[in-house]
Amino acid sequence: MGSPEKKLMQLCAAPMHGVGTVLAVDGDGSCRVATAQGELRVSLAASCLLAPEAGNVVWLAGDLAQGMYVTAVLERGEAPASSRVVLPAGAVLESADGAMTLKAQRLTLAGEQLAVQGKRAAFAIDKVTGVGREVTWSFGRVKLIADMLESFADRVSQFSRWSQRTVAGMDQVRATQVDYRAEQMMQLHAGNLVADAQNLVKLDGEQIHMG
């Protein structure tokens, strides 16, 4: 290899670093960056998690033989509407001491599937609003404590092997039709029992005991 070719290879392999301005970001994540040496096409370093955008001032490192990389975003330019932190597939955020806090004025979790796993969970929320198509819960025991509980549904179906309810005050049901059926026995007991019908009262049975 002649001397000029050797010098060219040494020049290409020499480490380079400097500042550039992102002109455009391609679909594969590579960038076109304007530098003092001219326009370069560079890749995004694995350690650069903040995704660069057009107009950002970035720090470049590498060489011409192996390629140049954006290692950090130095300035965002005009205030962006949002900033994207891009992680590779299968990424895991892990805290060495076992504690991690995500804090923001507004926090949004979005994804095709969302899974939360843990032995214990605690929520302290002033107001919760949920919108969805279908919910399935499976718990060994559920305990709900509230000052006021309201539910609205077109249809409610409940199935249980055993049910008990205690109401300290008035228990009131208003419906167009009410149908209570017991396979074995139904008992109504009260200090005073009033049965009132506008048109018809009917009692039917093999034996009817009054008094």
Extents of the domains making up the chain: 3-75
- Say if domain 3-75 classifies as CATH 2.40.50.140: yes
Give the pLDDT of residue 8. 47
Tell me which amino acid residue 169 is. Answer: G
Contacts 24+ apart (CB under 8 A), 81-86: 83/50, 83/51, 84/50, 84/51, 85/49, 85/50, 85/51, 86/29, 86/44, 86/49, 86/50, 86/51
Q: Compute φ and ψ for 166, nearest 5 degrees.
A: -125, 125
Dihedral, 169, 174, 178, 180 alpha carbons, nearest 10: -10
CA distance 27 to 30: 7
Pair 58, 19: CB distance under 8 Å: yes
* Residues in CB range of 46: below 8 A, 6 or more apart: 88
Give the pLDDT of residue 2. 52
* Residues in CB range of 57: below 8 A, 6 or more apart: 19, 20, 21, 22, 73, 74, 75, 77
pLDDT tens for the chain, 211 residues: list them: 556 555 545 555 567 888 999 999 988 878 999 988 888 889 988 888 888 988 899 999 888 778 889 999 998 877 666 778 888 788 888 888 778 888 888 888 888 888 888 888 888 888 888 888 888 888 888 898 889 888 888 999 988 899 999 999 999 999 999 999 999 998 989 999 998 999 999 988 888 888 7
In a 13 Å sphere around the CA of 1, the CA atoms on its Cβ side amount to 7
**Token duo for residue 25:** 């970001």
Residue 141: which H helix or E strand, with range?
none
pTM here is 0.56
How many other C-beta atoms are found inside a 10 Å radius of the C-beta of residue 119? 4
Residues making up the chain, counted from first to last: 211
Query: Is residue 169 exposed (0-12), middle (13-18) or buried (19+ Cβ within 10 Å)?
Result: exposed
Give the pLDDT of residue 119. 87
